[in-house]
Amino acid sequence: MERPESATQSEPEGSAATGEQPVRHRRLALRTALVSSLTLVSRVLGYAREMLAAALFGDTSGIFDAFLTAFRVPNLFRRFLGEGALATSFQTALTEVDERHGASAGGVLFRRTLGLMAVVSFLLSLLVMAAVYMAPDQLPGTDWAWLGADPDAVRDLTVRVMPFLVLVCLSSLVTGALHVRGRFGAPAFAPAAMNLAWIATLLVIAWQFGWGDASAAEAGGPDQAARHVAMARWLAWGLLVAGLVQLAVQWPALRSAGLLGRRGGARALPPGAPGPGEVLRRSAPLALGAAVYQINVMVDGLMAESLLSNGGPTAHYYANRVQQFPLALVAIAATSAVFPALQQLGHRRERAALRRLHDRTHLAIAAVALPAAVGLFVLARPVVEVSFEHGAFGPEGVDRTTLALKALCFAIVPAGATGLVARTYYSVGDFTTPVKVSAAMLVLNGLLNVLFLVGMGMDVEGLAAATAVTSALNVAMLLPGLTRRLGLPKSEVPFGHALPRIAVASALSGLAAGLTEQGLDGILGPAVALLVAIGAGGAVYLGAALALGIEDVRAISKKVLGRLRPGRGAAR
């Protein structure tokens, strides 16, 4: 997948790769498979991480609620600074410099931007730590106890986890640079390495403090709270170690990609090339759009902390984590894999090719995301039971998490589509339209949260329902603009032919999975019954998709079967 260093350096200065896509961005299907496979490993490890945390802290821990609220603060800035605005702007600038001035000049841009990111994220981390430390228990000018029932714990843990922002922002910039250079292995493995470090921390905490049980968690008391405070502080230290690991595992790939420089290489940017200041300027509208989304996430977390009983933020967090499993494995992985190619096509104004790539990716995502959403909705309760009902996590937590997860299943397909559509806007230089739509959805989401939680008395599922509604409206408002605003040609992909077939196959798959799980639960046990049900649902979907002529599924099946034939690999 990754080209050797000599191949990268052999490109002449100022030259651009020929063909519809540059050499380093061809074979998108194989790249997506690589990213998806490593993302699967990371998500499985992340799942194990959440299972350990649930067993340790339970489903009614106000301290763990506070930790999750605190963790959202560096995540707020990480997503729009590291993984969102600045990283996306940097990828665009690096693509431009690589094509016009060569790989050596691109390395100079990378090193200078990395230094700028280190300084900005460090100063921002210090500023937020000071602001949070002095934050009042109630939102100024209101009676809203925005830090919940444990404001001191929220402040203490936020200060402890904020340095994670520096590490993850640097890691995100490194990931973006490696993607532009066509290297996806190390960036895709980095989250898995981080999860391994996080899991090791949780195991150390369990060894030090014990696992606890559901009855003790329900009893609560000062001793239990003090124990959880100490555990959460250990977890904050482990988070910083995990951030270091995520950055370190990508560092060797930087040298092979020619990004760390070498003797005799360029040390200054050529005239006319964008520098770190230009990257910052370009990132401003992206930062606003990403900030809107992340403020939305932050508001959800604060509302869960302040308006729900203990365990509400935890249930909301775990439901989101389960929902993110198929979303990240399919939609986010595919979007990350094709975005550099979208940028190249947009930069060259090859709008017909851009539209085809967007639409084919869109349909391929739907062919996997829709059956995943249906299956997860049907199997929501057994998934939550098998995953989290251990140690201190009890039945009440299962009930609350299940309801939230079912509502979030309706957001899987539109949320995945939104990311791809927004990146398509970015690829042709339109950064304002996604920002405006996101801002409108932020206001609507807040209003729906108040309506569902306060007006209708809903629990954590109210937050999830608001997310599902705004996700669907977001993509519905962006899609028409591909033709009207961006000037892309009308779609040639047969969505009207394929989507109904995908929906029928998904419904059959969900029905098979649900019936299988119910029939086998009392015979094989919950975990085995769930695995068999997932397999049955997948098999029925595959059979129905082939029978209905869903081309994307048929193409994937042919590729897989072709590689499994005896002698196939040797022939290649």
Instruction: Give the per-residue pLDDT at 300.
Output: 80
Residue 32 within any structural domain of the chain = no
- Rounded CA-CA distance 368/36 in Å is 12
Q: What dihedral do alpha carbons 59, 61, 65, 66 form, nearest 10°?
A: -170
Instruction: Give the per-residue pLDDT at 560.
Output: 46
Residue 303 within any structural domain of the chain = yes
Distance of CA 107 to the CA centre of its chain: 27
**Average pLDDT of every residue of the chain:** 80
Give me the amino acid identity at 194.
Answer: M
Looking at the chain, the whole-number percentage of residues with pLDDT higher than 70 is: 80
449 has a pLDDT exceeding 70: yes
- In three-state secondary structure terms, 219 is helix
Count of alpha carbons within 13 Å of 5, Cβ hemisphere only?
13
Residues 543 and 409 in one domain: no
Q: What is the mean pLDDT of residues 476-482?
A: 89
Give tens-digit pLDDT for 402-440. Answer: 999 999 999 888 888 888 888 888 888 787 888 788 888
* 507/172: higher pLDDT: 507
Residues 545 and 448 in one domain: no
Residue 417 within any structural domain of the chain = yes
Residues 172 and 77 in one domain: yes
Residues 524 and 426 in one domain: no
Residue 41 within any structural domain of the chain = no
Instruction: Give the per-residue pLDDT at 258.
Output: 80
Among residues 445, 465, 493, which one ends one of the domains?
493
Distance of CA 387 to the CA centre of its chain: 20
Among residues 467, 493, 519, which one ends one of the domains?
493
Distance of CA 507 to the CA centre of its chain: 26
pLDDT band at 122 (very low <50, low <70, confident <90, very high): very high
Instruction: Give the per-residue pLDDT at 151.
Output: 83
295 has a pLDDT exceeding 80: no
Helices (H), 102-213: 103-133, 151-161, 164-180, 185-209
What DSSP letter does each residue of 236-302 carry, written as one string?
Answer: HHHHHHHHHHHHHTTHHHHHHTT-S--TTS--SPPTT---HHHHHHHHHHHHHHHHHHHHHHHHHHH
Residue 51 within any structural domain of the chain = no
- Rounded CA-CA distance 466/475 in Å is 15
Instruction: Give the per-residue pLDDT at 242.
Output: 94
Instruction: Give the per-residue pLDDT at 367.
Output: 85
Residues 528 and 386 in one domain: no
> What is the span of the domain harbouring residue 352?
285-493
Residues 469 and 508 in one domain: no
Residue 106 within any structural domain of the chain = yes
Residues 506 and 476 in one domain: no
* Total Cβ atoms within 10 A of residue 547: 12
Instruction: Give the per-residue pLDDT at 513.
Output: 93
Our CA angle for 547, 549, 550, nearest 5°, is 115
Residues 222 and 365 in one domain: no
pLDDT band at 7 (very low <50, low <70, confident <90, very high): very low
Instruction: Give the per-residue pLDDT at 276.
Output: 77
Residue 182, by phi and psi: left (phi above 0), alpha (psi -120 to 50) or beta? left
pLDDT band at 5 (very low <50, low <70, confident <90, very high): very low
Instruction: Give the per-residue pLDDT at 469.
Output: 92
Residues 86 and 133 in one domain: yes
Residues 433 and 534 in one domain: no
Give tens-digit pLDDT for 73-105. Answer: 887 777 666 555 677 778 778 888 877 878 888
Residues 192 and 233 in one domain: yes
Instruction: Give the per-residue pLDDT at 355.
Output: 86
**Beta carbons of 474 and 441 less than 8 angstroms apart:** yes
Among residues 493, 514, 531, which one ends one of the domains?
493
pLDDT band at 19 (very low <50, low <70, confident <90, very high): very low
- In three-state secondary structure terms, 567 is coil
Give tens-digit pLDDT for 188-241. Answer: 888 889 999 999 999 999 998 887 665 555 545 567 788 899 999 999 999 999
Residue 44 within any structural domain of the chain = no
124 has a pLDDT exceeding 70: yes
Phi, psi torsion values for 294, nearest 5 degrees: -70, -30
Predicted TM-score of the model (pTM): 0.75
Give tens-digit pLDDT for 141-193. Answer: 677 777 777 788 888 999 999 999 899 888 888 888 888 887 777 888 888 89
**Beta carbons of 337 and 31 less than 8 angstroms apart:** yes
For residue 558, what are its two tokens? 């042919």
Instruction: Give the per-residue pLDDT at 404.
Output: 93
Residue 131 within any structural domain of the chain = yes
263 has a pLDDT exceeding 80: no
Q: What is the mean pLDDT of residues 462-471?
A: 90
Q: How many domains, in total, are found in the chain?
A: 3
Residues 462 and 541 in one domain: no
Instruction: Give the per-residue pLDDT at 511.
Output: 95
